[in-house]
Amino acid sequence: MEPLTPAQKRQIAKEYLALFGKSLDSRQSELIANAPATANPLFLRVLLEELRVHGVFEELNAKIQVPPQVLHSTRGEFAVELKY
């Protein structure tokens, strides 16, 4: 699978979060679209899920840090740690 482009990442984030009545402002969208780690579709999905369940969505500008720490395992799996 090819890495996601910034335009694809913006569209996926917009459509996914819209399913839950959420949206990103332009700064948040650009942070995610330009983060190298989000070129991986699975990583992007995990990040969006974390953002979706964040309690006060409007406060994300002050709290979001992309790219988050990624911890790789020997099996190629990863964990995401968002810094709030």
Q: What is the pLDDT along the chain (84 residues), one digit of tens a residue?
A: 789 999 999 999 999 999 999 888 898 899 889 888 889 999 899 888 888 887 566 666 655 554 444 444 334 444 455 444
Give Cβ neighbours of residue 24 (< 8 Å, ≥ 6 apart): 13, 14, 17, 32, 51, 60
Q: Is the pTM of this model over 0.75?
A: no
| CB of 68 closer than 8 Å to CB of 81 | yes
Q: What's the pLDDT score for residue 5? A: 97
Give Cβ neighbours of residue 22 (< 8 Å, ≥ 6 apart): 51, 52, 57
